[in-house]
Amino acid sequence: MVFGRRPPAPLLLARFSGLRRGACGRAMAPPRCFALELPGCTLAHFAVGDEAPDARPDPGVAALLGPPGRSYSLSVPEAGGAGCAARVRAARLHQRLLHQLRRGPFRRCQLRRLLCYRPGGGAGGLQHGFLLRDPRDSPDTRSALLALLDACPEAPRPSLAEFSGDPLCRLWQLPWERRDGQGWRQLGRERVVPVPEPALHPVVPDLPSAGVFPHREAARAVLEACTSFIPEARAVLDLVDQCPEQVQKGKFPVIVIEGLDATGKTTVTQSVSDSLKAVLLKSPPSCISQWRKVFDDEPTIIRRAFYSLGNYIVASEIAKESTKSPVIVDRYWHSTATYTIATEGRSVLPADGEPWLPRG
């Protein structure tokens, strides 16, 4: 099974007799799966490695990876088992690459989000990256990419590969490796094959550790890793540490009003608060809202940790104020979680009651 037109019958026989193995000889290794974002936030899935027997080729993948033109992939290792500091470094490197790939010699190229994930899912196995397509197949694009990676001080560096088609309408991935003192070299080639769409969006297993944090300490650990380069992170942590870990709502009702931007929430919350003689609270709370711009400019994992910790501060305020009067809250945890799932999960949202959703 190939991307593009069906091969003649003799090629099908040759494919099963070893033609797929390529120079690296790893046809039986588990595939590395990729999710490529297409226009309209839909996803196309493919793999490098062994072909899944029930998968169908996606013409969208062939159009972006095959000729004419040339495509390149860059993936940033997440180092999922190495703690928050490694994940924060990877996220900041990913964001810096995004800014650089939108400038200079890359402006004539098409840039799309690319995710590398484990075939069976699981937290910590996700790598965020990009697919850069050069419609003119200019050698300057490859040279600029290699120079860009040479300038990355982080270890390990992002991985780089390019895609190539052959006269038989097959697609191949050609990975690049940098040898210290010896420059860059290609490491043979591996076959690009179709894979079935996974049951859940690839980012779902990672959301509890990178966006919808299941408890306060998970979000706190992220900002703790940011204090060396974001001074405001320490101020937020100090405010969070002043909040009791266990709080209980008072006897008065608490009403949360959610909604999209510019839909009249401020008017409604103020009106309801006046009518009920209630205390009006907002998320993020006023004590940290002056730092929103600082964190909004940071990668997702840092930005989400900031807003998540803001909800814990609001929870402490709710517990205190609800002992004296009704409380109206302008947005709360629901907005934070929903926005994260919708923007990170893109077009594949979890079904109602999915067990992976963090509780509390």
CA 266 – CA 274 distance, rounded (Å): 12
**Sheet containing 254-257, strands listed edge to edge, beginning at the edge strand earlier in sequence:** 254-257, 327-330, 279-282
**Number of Cβ within a 10 Å radius of residue 204:** 23
CA 357 – CA 168 distance, rounded (Å): 45
> What band does 301 get if pLDDT is binned at 50, 70 and 90?
very high
β-strand 190-194 against 43-48: which pairing, if any? antiparallel
β-strand 159-165 against 70-76: which pairing, if any? antiparallel
Do residues 299 and 92 lie in contact, with contact meaning Cβ atoms separated by under 8 Å?
yes
pLDDT of 41 above 90: no
Do residues 306 and 230 lie in contact, with contact meaning Cβ atoms separated by under 8 Å?
no
pLDDT of 19 above 50: no
pLDDT (0 to 100) of residue 61: 85
CA 34 – CA 210 distance, rounded (Å): 19
How many residues does the structure list for the chain? 360
pLDDT of 4 above 80: no
**Token duo for residue 45:** 């899935």
- pLDDT average, residue stretch 6-21: 29
The model carries a pTM of 0.81
Query: What is the separation of C-alpha 177 from the centre of its chain, rounded to a whole number of angstroms?
Result: 24
pLDDT of 138 above 90: yes
Residue matched to tokens 């300057």: 140
pLDDT of 31 above 70: no
Q: Encode pLDDT of 235-292 as tens digits.
A: 999 999 999 888 888 999 999 999 888 888 889 999 999 999 999 999 999 999 999 9
**Token duo for residue 306:** 């900031």
CA 322 – CA 255 distance, rounded (Å): 11
β-strand 110-117 against 127-134: which pairing, if any? antiparallel
Integer angstrom CA distances of residue 285 from 28, 62, 222, 255, 332: 54, 48, 19, 16, 10
Neighbouring residues of 30: CB distance < 8 A, sequence distance ≥ 6: 49, 50, 119
pLDDT (0 to 100) of residue 278: 96
pLDDT (0 to 100) of residue 360: 37
> What band does 23 get if pLDDT is binned at 50, 70 and 90?
very low
- Higher confidence at residue 338 or residue 140? 140
pLDDT of 310 above 70: yes
pLDDT (0 to 100) of residue 345: 54
Amino acid in position 277: K
Q: Encode pLDDT of 53-89 as tens digits.
A: 667 777 878 888 988 999 999 998 765 456 888 889 9
**Token duo for residue 206:** 């990672």
Instruction: Report helix, strand or coil for 305.
Output: helix
Average model confidence (pLDDT) for the chain?
A: 82
Residue closest to 177 by CA, chosen among 69, 24, 285, 37: 24
- pLDDT average, residue stretch 166-182: 85
pLDDT of 30 above 60: no
> What band does 1 get if pLDDT is binned at 50, 70 and 90?
very low
